[in-house]
Amino acid sequence: MDRRWTIRVVVGLTAFITMLDNTVVTAAAPSIARDLGIPLTTLEWVATAYLITFAGLLLAGGRLADGYGPHRVLRHGLWVFTIASALAAAAGGAGTLIAARAVQGAGAALVVPASLAIVATREERERVRCIAIWTGAGAVGLALGPSLGGVLAEHAARPWIFLLNVPVGALAWFLVRRTRGCRGETPGTAGLDWGGLVTGSLALTAATYALIAGTAHGFTDGPVLGAGAVAIGAALAFAPVERRAVAALVDVRLFAVRAFSGGIAVQILWGLGVNGVYFYTAVYLQGVRGFTPTGAGLAFLPLAVAVAAGAPLTPALVTRFGAGRTVAAGLVLVAAGMTAVAAGGTTATLLAALAVIGFGSALTVPLGACVLGAVPADRAGVAAGVFGVAREVSGVLGIAGVGVVVGAGADVGRGYAYGLLMAAALVLAGALLSVKTLPSYAHHRDSIRD
């Protein structure tokens, strides 16, 4: 396998396992609770511990990739993620399992920006191909998580939910070792902004905790208010720390580049809409349509297949129509699928609409390529970290926002329909923004050369 294909395989494997663990415990939650003898209120932290550290440390992971070299950080991140997965499988109690899941999230926060930073150094067409693989594999992992977790919990055993990561992570680590970059990179740590790393990571971690816990327990809950105060305090401290830093964690001048800021904004709008649909569709299928947990998870398979089918087509579409129009068309399809689901109908109609949402989401592949292509190579890690934060935090916000609309409905079915229509409006706003901010591919090449 040549180096080009090695990098593609690594990108696909790492995207799949890190996104799989976002959702793999959702359908398996009752089985895990019975196995460990813990209440579901405690079990929710098995899922959220991963999300909190993942989202909270992404920006730090990106900056470390720029400072120490992306191959080196990717290897260490894979090691942390894989060992933590094994510890989660071996956990005999809630505390050990939650701690292992938090360490898993920290490893993922190193893996994701480092893998994208490696992709950012590729030539333009190869970068788009790699981003297509990354997006497709990640979306498939996210969609397969509930069904795979449910099937393993029902027909195998709880440890296999986490042991699945071990051979995949080990293979990815071995492949990264084979690439020349992991032996040829020179560390550049002198300019690392440790003050910004600490305050920025604390702000993001506390904010993510507040959003997740607030959605579950109410935003007036004491720990939620405390986390919100910590997030605000750390964010306020972050600004003066960055002003005094020799090499700031995030160069605000990046946001003056239209492709970078536009790509981030569109990613946020997509995440606000689609992640709420992922979460509340599972609730709707079980609570209204009477699906079993495994059946609700398997209902996401058409979406996953559509993503996997659509992502490889995206580079050719971008070459012909440009990034802006390709992403906009994808987001219009996503909004149309959401509207179709909201209209109700048979289960077959719903599954077909979910497939449309998946195919449209696959066409958003150029977002990552535009964001990474708009920045210098030595800032690719931070750019990938910002992109990852936009994806993760918008997902949490989307679940919270759609949840408010769902809860305001007269019943779950009607509230779910209203939530879908709100999500469709957000996604359509992203389509309009794509046309305005994302460049044609020819123009994007010119901006990179300049």
- Measured CA to CA in angstroms, residue 183 lies from 20, 108, 117 at distances of 29, 22, 16
**Distance, C-alpha 359 to centroid of its chain:** 17
Q: Give yes or no for a contact between 389 and 414, defined as CB atoms under 8 angstroms apart.
A: no
Model confidence at 184: pLDDT above 50: no
The identity of residue 233, as a single letter, is: G
Tokens at 202, concatenated: 């604390």
Q: Give yes or no for a contact between 228 and 210, defined as CB atoms under 8 angstroms apart.
A: yes
**Distance, C-alpha 214 to centroid of its chain:** 20
Beta strands (DSSP E) in 51-128 are: none
57 compared with 149, residue with greater pLDDT? 57
Of the candidates 75, 72, 74, 68, the one whose C-alpha atom is nearest the C-alpha of residue 187 is 68
Specify the pLDDT at position 445. 39
Exposure on the CB side of residue 309, measured as CA atoms within 13 A:
12
- Measured CA to CA in angstroms, residue 381 lies from 196, 376, 377 at distances of 15, 10, 8
Read off the pLDDT band of 26 (50, 70, 90).
Answer: low
> pTM of the full predicted structure?
0.78
pLDDT digits (tens, 9 = 90+) for 78-120: 999 999 999 998 988 888 999 999 999 999 999 999 998 888 7
Specify the pLDDT at position 431. 94
Of the candidates 140, 149, 156, 164, the one whose C-alpha atom is nearest the C-alpha of residue 46 is 149
Q: Give yes or no for a contact between 162 and 88, defined as CB atoms under 8 angstroms apart.
A: yes
